[in-house]
Amino acid sequence: MGALAYTVAFEGVEARPVEVQCAVSPGVPGFAIVGLPDKAVSEARERVRAALTSMAIALPSKRITVNLSPADLPKEGSHFDLPIALGLLAALGVIPADELAQTIALGELTLEGGLVAVAGALPAALAAASEARSLLCPLASGREAAWVDSCRVLGAAHLADIIRHFSGTAPIPPARPGTPAAPRPFRDMADVIGQERARRALEIAAAGRHHLLFVGPPGNGKTTLASCLPGILPPLTPREALETSLVHSVAGQLKEGALLSERPFVEEHHTVSKVALVGGGPRARPGSVSLAHNGVLFLDELPEFQSNVLEALRQPLERGTIPVSRAGAHATYPCRILLIAAANPCRCGHAADPARACSRAPVCSETYLGRLSGPLLDRFDMRIEVPPVPFDDMQRAAPSESSARVAARVAAARSLQQARLAPWPDLRTNADATGRVLGEIAPLDAEGAALLTRAADRFGLTLRGYHRIQRLARTIADLDGAPEIRRAHLSEALSYRLVSLKDS
């Protein structure tokens, strides 16, 4: 006796189809699962056996073999429980075998036959839709998968419900999408006192997705400024919402079937490991840099991070994707992020204050900031100082502009970029433009080219730094509503390169 069921295996955010071949044959009684299963998949035989026994369905005293095809594709996760159980039920004649041909199943079983939510329901639904199949999953996962309206999603709470469904006695109704995630609170830029230059830099960073580094003494608003960023970013487009939600789905971080509606804001402590930041581990899971896809990654106290952790960011910041390879798992995750970082000028934080600087200045500052490599610093489009605000200025300061007003200008600039980059679907902001495309969208006149060339010679800019300033000037022009880059735009872009750090 044999039967087939169908499920998926995950490679990054992609769901690859897997055929579950179940055979019950004469021989020494046993239950074997083959086809490169990991520990969780191998343990499925005990969960499946206990779940069927609790429903008074006894497995025969025969040889049971489950092959997960293709056999050379690693199989990971507890979501193989349900398709294995369905394949066995079909092989035993409990449910019609032909009913499984048009269904992709995934779900974890309890020992009593209940179905537990699993990660990856959203990419599984996309895979089912591409094959014109329905998706059968736990009830808790159905709200997430049902966002794919081109796929018929059935969510069940118990294995007995599925048996009744395939028997025709009690069909399972289609699942409905969960409610969108509730907006999270964020700081308003009106809370920032002074720091006009830093506020301007934050607005430019949001408008063009330009990486930004704040350097200044502690307590002057670096973290507050960064926490204001979500309030001025435009909402996710439908395409971006799906991309970002796929990553969070694979990581098991979509709560109650709610797709993301706001750009993620991920903040990491300086004790974070390399695997946690860029991804990896035994199952090559996405890291914080991928969970922040289409959003913001904030790294406070940047020089305190381990150097090997920071250096791992260099390639992802350039490419917008990160390959994660392990002995038995290979995946590529998206990571198109806006990186915001903050650093003190030295360990004590007051290197620039003559009244409070330590006796080791300026060696203290050089040693502390020297932990940041030149190639890493070159990835930041803007590197600016956040100086102390005198108390007199705090008391006399006029009310700061609100996040809503800044967000309106950012949205207008993003609209200009989307219209300009329409011929290149993979490009969404000025920061994405490279090579020939950059020359087309951000041409420089003779005066601007001469200015930028002189600056490159004086500050020793690399070609990457040259192009970053060109892209930055394009964004500044967009915020001004200017169709062409002018000298003033280039001059402002150049002023955001902190030459007191390692310039490249």
Domain boundary (133, 167, 201) is at: 167
Instruction: Check residue 312 and give its pLDDT.
Output: 94
pLDDT reported for residue 417: 96
**Domain match, 355 and 212 both:** yes
Same-domain status, 299 and 360: yes
Binning pLDDT at 50, 70 and 90, where does residue 280 land? confident
Looking at the fold, whether 216 and 288 belong to one and the same domain comes out as yes
Question: Both 406 and 336 in a single domain?
Answer: yes
Q: Which residue has the tokens 């000037």?
A: 473
147 and 244: one domain? no
Q: Is residue 504 part of a domain?
A: no
Residue 503 has pLDDT above 80, yes or no: no
In a domain, 71, yes or no: yes
Instruction: With a cut of 80, say whether residue 186 has pLDDT above it.
Output: yes
**pLDDT at 502 (0 to 100):** 47
Regarding whether 260 and 379 lie in a shared domain, the answer is yes
Q: How far is CA 323 from CA 105, 210, 306, 320, in A?
A: 28, 22, 20, 10
Residue 351 has pLDDT above 90, yes or no: no
Tell me the average pLDDT across 218-235. 91
% the chain with pLDDT above 90: 69
For position 457, what pLDDT does the model report? 87
Is residue 183 one of the residues assigned to a domain?
no
Q: Residues 318, 319, 320, CA angle at the centre, nearest 5°?
A: 105
Which pLDDT does position 498 carry in this prediction?
A: 61
pLDDT tens, 359-414? 666 677 778 888 899 889 989 999 999 888 766 655 556 677 899 999 999 999 99
Q: What is the CA radius of gyration of the chain?
A: 27
Instruction: Say what the pLDDT of residue 285 is.
Output: 86
The reply to whether 120 falls in a domain is: yes
In this structure, the answer to whether residues 24 and 81 fall within a common structural domain is yes
211 and 157 within one domain? no
pLDDT tens by residue, 92-114: 999 999 989 999 999 999 999 99
- Contact present, 407 and 231 (Cβ < 8 Å): yes
CATH number at residue 79: 3.30.230.10
On whether residue 175 sits in a domain, the answer given is no
Q: What is the 3-state secondary structure (H, E, C) of 236-286?
A: CCHHHHHHHHHHHHHCCCCHHHCCCCCCCEEEECCCCCHHHHHCECCCCEC
Angle between helices 487-495 and 446-459 (to 10 degrees): 20
Q: What is the pLDDT of residue 338?
A: 97
Q: Residue 66 pLDDT more than 80? A: yes
Residue listed under structure tokens 């020089």: 303
The reported pLDDT for the residue numbered 504 is 37
| Residues 293 and 362 both lie in one domain | yes
**Alpha carbons 7 and 106: distance in angstroms, whole number:** 6
Q: Which domain holds residue 367?
A: 189-495
**Residue 439 included in any domain:** yes
pLDDT of residue 180: 74
The verdict on 128 and 222 lying in the same domain is no
- Asked whether residue 499 carries a pLDDT value surpassing 60, the answer given is no
Q: What is the mean pLDDT of residues 227-256?
A: 91
Distances (CA, A) of 136 to 79, 89, 105: 11, 15, 5
Number of domains in the chain: 2
- In this structure, the dihedral spanned by the alpha carbons of residues 51, 56, 62 and 68, taken in order and rounded to 10 degrees, is -30
157 shares its domain with 203: no
Kindly state whether residue 100 falls inside one of the protein's structural domains. yes
For the stretch 267-276, pLDDT in tens is: 999 999 999 9
Q: Look over the chain and give the mean of its residue pLDDT values, rounded to a whole number.
A: 90
CATH number at residue 235: 3.40.50.300
294-337 confidence digits (pLDDT tens)? 999 999 999 999 999 999 999 999 999 999 876 666 789 999 99
Do both 208 and 162 map to the same domain?
A: no
Residue 285 placed within a domain: yes
Residue spans of beta strands (DSSP E) within 61-162: 63-69, 103-105, 108-109, 115-116, 134-138, 153-156
The counts of H helices and E strands in the chain are 21, 16
pLDDT digits (tens, 9 = 90+) for 126-144: 999 999 999 999 999 999 9
pLDDT at 146 exceeding the cut of 60: yes
